[in-house]
Amino acid sequence: MTRTKLSVCQRKRRYDSEVAAVDAIAVSGLVLRSYRCDRCRQFHLTSRTKGKRVLGIGAGSG
């Protein structure tokens, strides 16, 4: 189980429920997944990437 870093938690958008998170994914049109944050107990979105391949895009639109 991975722990969410506090800095990550703070900069990410929070969703009250998984439904809200999934809805936001649908709106974005991106391939994302939601996960429960153990810092704020709410939901965040994360890119569904396998491995640790970095594409060089550091700054997301958040």
Nearer to Zn ion, 44 or 55 (CB): 44
User: Which residue number, 7 or 61, has a Cβ lying nearer to Zn ion?
Assistant: 7
> Could you say which of 9, 22, 24, 32 contacts Zn ion (CB under 5 A)?
9
48 and 31 Cβ atoms separated by less than 8 Å: yes
Q: Which of 7, 39, 34, 38 is nearest to 23 (CA)?
A: 34
Residue (of 43, 16, 45) closest to 29 by Cα position: 45
Q: Which of 31, 40, 53, 57 binds Zn ion (CB under 5 A)?
A: 40
Positions touching Zn ion (CB under 5 A) are 9, 37, 39-40
